[in-house]
Structure formats: structure tokens, C-alpha cells
Homo-oligomer: A and B are copies of this chain.
Amino acid sequence: MHRVKVRVVEDALDANNTIARANRDDFDRHDIRVVNLMSAPGAGKTTLLERVLRDLGDVRAGVLEGDVQGSYDADRLASLHVPVTQLNTDPGFGGECHLDANMVRSALPEIPLHDLDLLVIENVGNLVCPAEFRVGEDARVMVSSVTEGEDKPLKYPLMFRTCELVVINKIDLLPHLDFDMERFLHALDAVHPGVARMHVSARTGEGVEAFRDWLLQVRVPA
């Protein structure tokens, strides 16, 4: 019985990877770079996008907004005049806690792929399951707020291990927290040695320019 169960799980991941490759082929056909943006709830993904999407020069960006339900983040981004597509996961089992490749695939017909150079997929706020599902992205960014504490890389290692960039957000609050940055960076390097990291305040704008430059560099592969 146990072996059957494991096999089912592997099949599910295989199916996800197969569909992620199909997504990847479609993105390549349209010469689009795709970033999967992940974090815990309330870490500041949408505020970061509000800041950075204002100022991408001639790069045409769009957003695929993943939420359990509602369109609160998509509404916030609407004022930026970039194409935003809402993807709700609530037809699933009480609301899926992550996006998978098939959910993203189901949204592709609604995304103006011909008119984009960069697509940011804002995943559901969760530090566990989103890390398990590739969706066809070029790069994964996770936003970790300093208000969440220094231990998060150790407690959610897969999330921190499978991303290309860690945005350490809400640094404007550091004077008011007991957060020990050295301890956080030590934990981060324990699970993902040397991963790129940036210190940002999406609220004040500090460090956002570096994130913008990083996004633009994803767009044009070396």
C-alpha cells in the first residue's frame, strides 16, 4: 500500500513537470522571460510589484496573479496599466495553497503573450507547496520579510533552496525588530549557500532599483 502511494505522488510530479515543459515551450515561442514570485502571506510581493513595474523602461511586463479567491492584488496592480490576469485556485480542494503547471497552463489563453517580454507569476502566499511545483518559469524569486524572523530558511528549506534570488523585504522596520540579520544570512547560507540576496524596502523604495535591474537581466539570457 505504501509503495503504491509513493508511485502516485511521483506520477503527479511527473505530470506537473511535463506540463511545465509545455508552458516553457510556449513562453520560448513568444520570447518571454518568466519569474515565479513566492513568499509567505503578507511578505510584500504585491507592493514590490507595484514599485518595480512602474519603471521597466521599454520592457513590456505582465502579471499572472495567483490567489485562493478574490482579485484584491490584481485590482491593486490595475492602476499600473500592465496586463494582469487573475488565477483563482478555489475550484480545488477548499482552495489550493499553490499554483501548479496545469493551473498556469489553463490561464495562458487569457494572457496576451504576443505583447509581453516579461511575465511575473505572483504565487499563492505559502512557504511550503509552491516550492514543489515548477510552472515553466526561468527563475524563482522568494520574498522574505524581516518581520517573519531569522529562522525561516531552516524551517522552510525547500522554498529557500529552489529559488535563484531572495529579496529580504521590509528592512525599513529593522530598527523596531529584534531581527538579527547575521543569523538570518547564516541560516540562508546553510540551506542555499551563496544564493543571490537583496535588502529591500518595497514600502520606502530602498533597494527596489537593484531588483528591477535583476528582473531586466532575467529577460535577456546570457
Query: Does A115 touch B at the CB level, under 8 Å?
Result: no
Q: Specify the main secondary structure of chain A where it touches its partner.
A: loop
Query: Does A97 touch B at the CB level, under 8 Å?
Result: yes
CB contacts under 8 Å to B, within A132-179, are 132, 145, 147-149, 151-152, 154-158, 170, 172-173, 176-178
Task: Report if A67-B173 is in contact (Cβ < 8 Å); known contacts: A128-B95, A132-B93.
Answer: no
Bound Cα distance from A146 to B31, whole angstroms: 40
Q: A203 CB to closest chain B CB, in angstroms?
A: 7
Bound Cα distance from A93 to B96, whole angstroms: 15
Query: Does A19 touch B at the CB level, under 8 Å?
Result: no
Which residue in B40, B172, B176, B177 is a CB contact (below 8 Å) of A40?
B40
Q: A210 CB to closest chain B CB, in angstroms?
A: 23
Least CB separation from A126: chain B residue:
B126
Stretch of A20-28, A68-76, A103-111, A211-219 contacting B (4+ beta carbons < 8 Å)? A68-76
Query: Does A205 touch B at the CB level, under 8 Å?
Result: no
- Flag if A41 contacts B154 (CB, 8 Å): no
Which residue in B96, B128, B177 is a CB contact (below 8 Å) of A126?
B128
- Flag if A155 contacts B41 (CB, 8 Å): yes
- Flag if B125 contacts A127 (CB, 8 Å): yes
- Flag if A41 contacts B9 (CB, 8 Å): no
Query: Does A198 touch B at the CB level, under 8 Å?
Result: no
Least CB separation from A92: chain B residue:
B9
Q: Which A residues form the contact surface with B (CB < 8 A)?
A: 9, 40-42, 67-70, 72-73, 93-97, 124-129, 131-132, 145, 147-149, 151-152, 154-158, 170, 172-173, 176-178, 203
